[in-house]
């Protein structure tokens, strides 16, 4: 199996969080109509979901071989 560095998982986590948190911020702003509420929601969400995504990615890498082929 190809070796994948943990830095790759971290980079994917960070870039995805920028996209996902922007989405959360915009949805919260549309729903509440308040930028400060949207920022608060997005701020909490970015921390919790970044941690959850990183561990999700690591668990898949270590324990699930679904879709991985030896080259």
Does residue 12 form part of some domain?
yes
pLDDT tens digits along 18-42 = 898 999 999 999 999 999 999 999 9
pLDDT of residue 1: 56
Does residue 70 form part of some domain?
no
Does residue 48 form part of some domain?
yes
Does residue 22 form part of some domain?
yes
C-alpha span between 8 and 58 (Å, rounded): 11
pLDDT at residue 68 tops 80 = no
pLDDT band at 12 (very low <50, low <70, confident <90, very high): confident
Does residue 32 form part of some domain?
yes
- How many domains does the chain fold into? 1
pLDDT at residue 53 tops 60 = yes
Q: Which candidate, 2, 1, 40, places its Cα nearest to that of 21? A: 40
């Amino acid at each position: 199996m190809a070796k994948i560095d943990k830095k790759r998982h971290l980079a994917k986590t960070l870039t995805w969080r920028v996209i996902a948190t922007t989405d959360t911020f915009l949805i919260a702003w549309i729903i509440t109509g308040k930028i400060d509420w949207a920022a608060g929601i997005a701020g909490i969400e970015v921390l919790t979901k970044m941690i959850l995504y990183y561990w999700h990615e690591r668990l898949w890498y270590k324990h699930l071989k679904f879709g991985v082929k030896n080259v």
